[in-house]
Structure 1
Amino acid sequence: MLSSVTDFSSSPRGKWVVVGLWLLFAAIIVPVSPRLDEVVSNEASQFLPPGAESSEAETLQAAEFPSDGVPAILVFRNPAGLSEADRAEARRVNDLLLSDAAPDTIDGVVSVFTRPEAAASLVSADGTTMTIVANVTGEPSGEPYLETIAWIRDQTGDLGELRVAVSGPGGILADFIEVFEGIDGFLLLVTGILVLVLLVLIYRSPVVALVPLLSVGWVFAIAGALGALLAERVGLPVNGQSQGIMTVLLFGAGTDYCLFVSSRYREELVHAPDKHEAMRRAMRGVGEAIASSAGTVLVATLALLLATLRSTETLGPLLALAIGLMLIAALTLVPAILTILGRFSFWPFRPRYDARSNDPVIADEEAHGIWSRIAGIVARRPAGVLVTTVAAFLVMSLGLLDFEQTYDQITGLPAGTESREGFELLREAFPAGDLAPTNVYVVMPEGTDLFDPATLARIDQI
């Protein structure tokens, strides 16, 4: 079955049919599908395990205590103590947030100037730090929300010893969205350049180096479109980290599969005068290896469905879809493209047909190069090579002994990010419990008088 598919993909007529079908598939799917980043959801429910108590509390809060908006916390800190000038600057920002010049998405401001009675929770005990809380409405991933956070940051800045930063949930969300939006394009660019440089160095041919980029890019566009379509139509969960991981996985696995095909194809072009026969032999030699490799990755990605953490679980279907498409492309599209290009694939060092290469004795005598020498060492001393490589891997893994797991989401932001700096300023001045208090929601039986002394006493016990 597998050889029938690869034989057709490398046949004189089949190669054009395969490329045409892939073009048609992309032309149908991509235009009618939303972009993957348009269906991304970064809600807590996308990251926490199903049935987690905090998820249930979030659902309860949304139902019983609905609120529209995300609080952005403006931090004003002077290690030497807030001066009158510092407080005047905070007052200026406070008045600006309440003025008509402020965006309509700012819905309410809490500060010592609007709520003097809340000064104890808004000013640190040592008098070095003050906070202003601005409630920002709108979808956090929407432009109005992000533009509001940017506007607030434009109106604030350090002043002498006074450091000012916009942090809190509002600032942190905006920075995470900016990081994720930028990282996908950055990863795609860096990965593509890295793959291109490595392939040019390996093959010394710009043509064959572009084939993996073309094939993987083709699959990437279709996989993203299909994933977005499934997310929109059937509710396939996609979170912010999915696209970045899919990019790296596709380029890594896709380039690997393309190397399998192109390397063997170059060898067979020396043994066979016809490019179609050379590819047929090549794919019969590496087709099963590619299928086995992709099958292993498919099983691994689908195993993510067993993960407890939902952010990990939701990666499984999208990554499996991407690898499945890459497998099909490696068995059809890649050999079809290389067969169309023929010996030109390896320009300027085109492999030439040599009838003598079919003589095993002559072939063994002419085998040369570093990879042939390495293969010879492995074949002659397999046990020694195994022990040496395992020992090297063990030495390189010693760093794991000092590995410490962190669950601080703030450290996931790049150093220098304003919300991260603002949170560090808060940590220096306020106790941990004040920064992230734990909310406990008590659900009483229907008809209970919440103000009954006995009920209040039971709540106090909690």
Structure 2
Amino acid sequence: MKWAVIAAWLVAALVAIPFQAKLQTLASDESDAFKDRNAESTKVDDLISTRFKGGSETTAVILYANETPERIATDALALCNPKSIPDIVRVITPVQLACGELPPITFAQSSVIKATSEDQTTQLVTAWTSQDATETVARDVKAMRASVSDKAFVTGEAGFAADQTAALEGIDTTLLIVTLALVIVLLGLIYRSPIVALVPVVVVGIAYVVAAALAYAGAKAGLYQATGQATAILIVLMFGAGTDYCLLLLSRYREEIGHEHAMRTALRRTAPAIVSAGGIVVAVMLVLGLAGYNATRWMGPVLAIGMAVTVLAGVTLLPAVISALGRFPQRKHARQSTIWPRIGALVQGKPLVLALSVGALLLAGALGNLKSTESLDFSEQFRNPPESVQGLRKLQEKFPPGQAGPVDVLVDAKKVADALPALRAHVYSADLVGFSEDGLLSLVKLTLNEDPFTENATKAIPQIRAQARGLDPKALVGGPTAEIFDNEHRLSQDAKLIVPLALALVFVIVAFLLRSLIAPIYVIATVLLSYAFALGVSTIVFGKSDPAQPLFTFVFLVALGVDYNIFLITRIREEGDVVKGLVKTGGVITSAGLILAGTFCTLLATELESLFQVGFTVALGLLVDTFLIRIFLVPSIALLLRSRAI
């Protein structure tokens, strides 16, 4: 039977291997990922793309500082070469149309884009391409940067998209290598056994290949869209949590060696905890599918698939591999550690003091959440500013700040003449830039007086929308500033739905597993405490954060933090004694927590600030879970509540 199980997994992995690369290709197109699917700004984008000539075109802005007109003209001709940039539509310099055709009303003819700064030191060349798919835009921008002067900066919509793609390019491979190395090293140091170090890695590695293929199949079928963010976190989550599940079974098997049917007994004792813990993660990830924010909604199914396959591998492939290896290596004459008996005695002697001390420490860290925070603007999304951000900053030094991202207003074409003067009242400029092909809609671009990617700018969106609808009840307002406003609102609404629903699911699963209504309450409460602590400390450390960070951090810390509670409490129930359960599981839970936190630390190697912050905050929360909550707080509460605790 064991050989049949191993063979089945190997065949599945061999079939699945080619699809891992295909998943990365699908995930490279994130053009619609970071949007609210029902937002007003999304509707504006869709209307411009479908009803305006050239609406689906992508704009790149090339900024020149102190460059000669001759060099700018030469570069413009190079940009017009369809052999190097097949998707080029038109290129406009400060003095001429270098190639392509002008629509009846163009950005160049309005004041939306001033091509030369007031001090005459900085010029802008604008290039339009016909495709907006992320992978295609990245390719076109790469060709543009190769075609222009080394002193020029390719920025604008196309430059931003290309640099975001570059920040995630190769991240899956990097994370996979770093995560594998980290897990092997940590397991080797903790267990001093090459086999213990390699077996979980092999098992989870096979599961990852299979999960990637299944995730690709779902995305290809149109059930969701794969994103680079989701595939990156999939690696971290599967290897972190999967290694934990493997360690729980391996640790119990080593205890049972010498007894008859050691593996069967170990699996019978640990499988319910593994399946329940994994089931919680799967359930919470599926709840993400209810989100309105695309990146959140699409991430849920991918991670749920990964965790389901991880659990399946943990209770089938892992036992089969261990059984095939024969007697599992034991360290001969290994001295029993005295650390956990001492910790157990401390907890048993002073449960109230420990509970209050740990609780006070965590609450102190949670006070950081009272600090007011701002959202990261676009230029702060990168750990190291890429060319598009450098160009954006230079553009804002010499041109109106709002020119980098005008607000789009769609107004009835019959009312636009009356609307323009009113819309100009509180902005730098309001310019008519085009009509829909059916002549019913007009597109007005508003240039704000401040950086359009900042929180201050987003506060103006409700006022602009109210003003526009006062002129035309059907008017719609979009553009990058409105998109930021809509995304933050949607993330807030998603949190109000996902957080209580996730907590309710966790409560039901834990209550069913433990047959208790008391245990789920303090299990969830302690996890929420670690979440509040980690988020509070993160707020103090970073000051600004990505709007999606609190929700993502909550999901991972609650889903994964509950795992350790389940491992501990199921063993306490089996032993019939809190201290014995703590002593028996202390080593494996600590090792598992350290490894899982370490895998999330691999996100610190990314260039995107949002993933960096998620990695830092989740890793911190997991370390607090491991070394404070699971060792001291939960056992202390269990002792204080006595039989009602479990």
What's the TM-score bracket when you normalise by the shorter of the two chains? Answer: 0.7 to 0.9
Structure 1: gaps spanning 5 or more residues: 1-13, 353-365, 445-449
For the pair 1:456 / 2:444, whether they are aligned, the reply is no
Aligned to 1:363: none
Is residue 17–residue 210 contact of structure 2 (8 Å, CA) maintained in 1? yes
Alpha-carbon offset, residue 396 of structure 1 = 4.3
Deviations 1:385-428 (A, max 9, x none): 33333333334445545562415233223314111211121222
Q: Secondary structure at the match of 1:284?
A: helix
Flag the 1:332–1:405 CA change in 2: closer, same or farther, 3 A. Answer: farther
Alpha-carbon offset, residue 137 of structure 1 = 3.7
1:260-271 alignment, distance < 5 Å: 260-269=248-257, 271=258
Q: 2:262 aligns with which of 259, 275, 278?
A: 278
Rounded to whole Å, the distance in 1 between the matches of 2:15 and 2:115 is 56
- Report the count of equivalent residues: 411
Q: 2:191 aligns with which of 199, 203, 208?
A: 203
Aligned to 2:170: 182
Is residue 216–residue 326 contact of structure 1 (8 Å, CA) maintained in 2? yes
Flag the 1:423–1:297 CA change in 2: closer, same or farther, 3 A. Answer: same
Q: More displaced, 255-264 or 383-392?
A: 383-392
Rounded to whole Å, the distance in 1 between the matches of 2:364 and 2:32 is 40
Aligned to 1:330: 314
Rounded to whole Å, the distance in 2 between the matches of 1:338 and 1:376 is 34
Flag the 1:288–1:372 CA change in 2: closer, same or farther, 3 A. Answer: farther
Deviations 1:110-130 (A, max 9, x none): 111315967871122343422
Deviations 1:338-383 (A, max 9, x none): 222233455xx3689xxxxxxxxxxxxx853423433443344333
Rounded to whole Å, the distance in 1 between the matches of 2:132 and 2:333 is 58
Aligned to 1:58: 45
Flag the 1:284–1:151 CA change in 2: closer, same or farther, 3 A. Answer: same
Q: TM-score with structure 1 length normalisation?
A: 0.80
Cα-Cα RMSD:
2.9
Flag the 1:207–1:148 CA change in 2: closer, same or farther, 3 A. Answer: same
1:21-420 alignment, distance < 5 Å: 21-31=8-18, 35-40=22-27, 42-67=29-54, 69-77=57-65, 82=66, 86-98=68-80, 102-114=84-96, 121-138=114-131, 140-142=133-135, 145-157=137-149, 163-269=151-257, 271-272=258-259, 277-345=261-329, 349=331, 367-397=336-366, 399-402=368-371, 404-420=373-389
Is residue 112–residue 118 contact of structure 1 (8 Å, CA) maintained in 2? no
Rounded to whole Å, the distance in 2 between the matches of 1:369 and 1:201 is 19
Rounded to whole Å, the distance in 2 between the matches of 1:343 and 1:382 is 40
Flag the 1:89–1:345 CA change in 2: closer, same or farther, 3 A. Answer: farther
Rounded to whole Å, the distance in 2 between the matches of 1:345 and 1:181 is 41
Structure 2: gaps spanning 5 or more residues: 98-107, 423-470, 472-646
Alpha-carbon offset, residue 200 of structure 1 = 0.6
Counterpart amino acid of residue 417 in structure 2? L
Is residue 238–residue 307 contact of structure 2 (8 Å, CA) maintained in 1? yes
Q: Secondary structure at the match of 2:170?
A: helix
Q: Secondary structure at the match of 1:300?
A: helix
Rounded to whole Å, the distance in 2 between the matches of 1:48 and 1:104 is 28
Deviations 1:201-235 (A, max 9, x none): 11011211111211111111111111111111243
Is residue 344–residue 350 contact of structure 1 (8 Å, CA) maintained in 2? no
Whose relative contact order is higher, 1 or 2, with alpha carbons under 8 Å and at least 6 apart? Answer: 1
Aligned to 1:362: none
Rounded to whole Å, the distance in 2 between the matches of 1:105 and 1:44 is 17
Rounded to whole Å, the distance in 2 between the matches of 1:101 and 1:336 is 56
Flag the 1:351–1:130 CA change in 2: closer, same or farther, 3 A. Answer: farther
Is residue 64–residue 123 contact of structure 2 (8 Å, CA) maintained in 1? yes
Q: More displaced, 243-252 or 414-423?
A: 414-423
Q: More displaced, 52-61 or 31-40?
A: 31-40
Flag the 1:337–1:443 CA change in 2: closer, same or farther, 3 A. Answer: farther
Is residue 155–residue 388 contact of structure 2 (8 Å, CA) maintained in 1? yes
Deviations 1:36-74 (A, max 9, x none): 122226455433223211111111111111425422211
Is residue 196–residue 209 contact of structure 1 (8 Å, CA) maintained in 2? yes
Larger Rg belongs to: 1
Flag the 1:247–1:100 CA change in 2: closer, same or farther, 3 A. Answer: closer
Is residue 261–residue 282 contact of structure 1 (8 Å, CA) maintained in 2? yes
Q: Secondary structure at the match of 1:127?
A: coil
Is residue 149–residue 170 contact of structure 1 (8 Å, CA) maintained in 2? yes
Counterpart amino acid of residue 79 in structure 2? L
